[in-house]
Amino acid sequence: MQTKDELITTLKKIVKPYVQDEQAFEHVTESTDFINDLKINSANLVDIALDVEEEFDIVIDNEAMERMLTVGSSMDVITRKLAEKA
Amino acid sequence: MVANIFNNRTSLQTFTSILEKLPYSHPFLFVDTLNHVDENGVEGRYTFPVDSFFYTGHFKQTPVTPGVILTEVMAQIGVVCLGIFLLTDALTDDLAIAMTRTQIDFYKPVFPGETVTVRSTKEYFRFHKLSCNVEMLNSRHELVCRGSISGMMKPTTYA
């Protein structure tokens, strides 16, 4: 399993194409909000979830999707789904 | 025979109920009929009335259907009609929709009075985002335009 640093690096790579605020993206922390800070729209938030599914080979359900609003909560969702799979 | 009649009537009712739920009206309703709809795609038609409002200005001397209108026809038939069908169980009356992405290539002009057929294939529908590959053919079965369109479709009330 990836370390926290590796996880955030992978997540940043997934999120990057959808980011509209590059400056905010340079200073990403776990509390960075996809919509409010990175100015990502709701449709691209879905793309991020689908890309996360593919990258980590996990399934994001509706409940998990609703929580994937920040970098930190997404890392939490990914970690849990990977643990369920293991 | 009886089964056939029943099936035809059922699909006709399905078409009618989809058209009734479309959130558009004149002069921005661009769906006349649906020929087919299932969970993987939809096919429908629209005829451009020669007195459509955009022909007086696009272009000044030569009326040609604007690409942005062709895109709207593809979105209304290919994405919104299909989305309404897919949401049928959850949907009552209110539907929040927003187009979120289009990528279209254009090949042939469409002139006043022409009838076009739109065919759409669902790429995916997840977390309220419907993404489709859509193409438009003219009455000579020539490709008019083709591309992908995505939108968010959410029922605002649940049955």
Between CA B79 and CA A6 the distance in angstroms is 38
Residues whose CB falls within 8 Å of the CB of residue B45, separated by 6 or more in sequence, listed in order: B32, B33, B35, B77, B115, B116, B117, B118
- pLDDT for the residue numbered B154: 87
The residues in B 60-99 lying below 8 A from A, measured between CB atoms, are 98
Q: Are B48 and B113 in contact (CB under 8 A)?
A: yes
Q: Which residue of A has its CA nearest to B99?
A: A43
CB contact under 8 A, B150 and A42: no
CB contact under 8 A, A62 and B101: no
- Terminal Cα-to-Cα distance of chain A (whole angstroms): 10
User: Is B26 a residue of the active site?
Assistant: no
Q: What residues pair up with B20 in beta bridges, in sequence order?
A: none
- pLDDT for the residue numbered B28: 97
Whether residue A43 is predicted with pLDDT greater than 60 in this model: the reply is: yes
Which of A56, A71, A76 is CA-nearest to residue A15? A71
Domain B2-155 fold is Thiol Ester Dehydrase; Chain A (3.10.129)
Q: Are B94 and B155 in contact (CB under 8 A)?
A: yes
Interface check B148 vs A, CB under 8 A: no
Chain A CB contacts of B128 under 8 Å are 42, 46
Tokens representing B143?
């490709």
By residue range, what is the domain housing residue A59?
4-85
* Residue B134: alpha-carbon gap to chain centroid: 9
Mean pLDDT of the region A6-27: 95
Q: Would strands B41-47 and B95-106 be described as parallel, antiparallel, or unpaired?
A: unpaired
Whether residue B83 is predicted with pLDDT greater than 80 in this model: the reply is: yes
Percent of chain B surpassing pLDDT 90: 81
- Total domains in chain A come to 1
The residue type of A47 is D
Between CA B42 and CA B57 the distance in angstroms is 32
Q: What angle do CA B95, B44, B127 make, to 5 degrees?
A: 35
Whether residue B4 is predicted with pLDDT greater than 70 in this model: the reply is: no
The domain spanning residue A32 has which CATH number?
Answer: 1.10.1200.10
- pLDDT for the residue numbered B92: 62
Test the B interface: residue of A18, A20, A34, A47 with most B CBs within 10 Å: A47
pTM score: 0.89
CB contact under 8 A, B129 and A46: yes
Question: Which pLDDT tens digit goes with each residue over B29-72?
Answer: 999 999 999 999 999 999 999 999 999 999 999 999 999 999 99
Annotated active-site residue in B26, B36, B58, B141: B58
Mean pLDDT across chain B: 90
Mean pLDDT across chain A: 94
CB contact under 8 A, B129 and A41: no
Interface check B40 vs A, CB under 8 A: no
Q: Min CA distance, B130 vs chain A (Å)?
A: 9
Q: Are A76 and A60 in contact (CB under 8 A)?
A: no
Interface ipTM: 0.89
Mean pLDDT of the region B83-97: 80
Whether residue B5 is predicted with pLDDT greater than 80 in this model: the reply is: no
DSSP secondary structure, B52-121, as one string = -GGGGTSSSSS----HHHHHHHHHIIIIIIHHHHHTTTTBSS-EEEEEEEEEEEE-S---TT-EEEEEEE
Instruction: For residue A72, give the 3-state DSSP assignment.
Output: helix
CB contact under 8 A, A43 and B126: no
Q: Are B86 and B125 in contact (CB under 8 A)?
A: yes
Q: Are B69 and B144 in contact (CB under 8 A)?
A: no
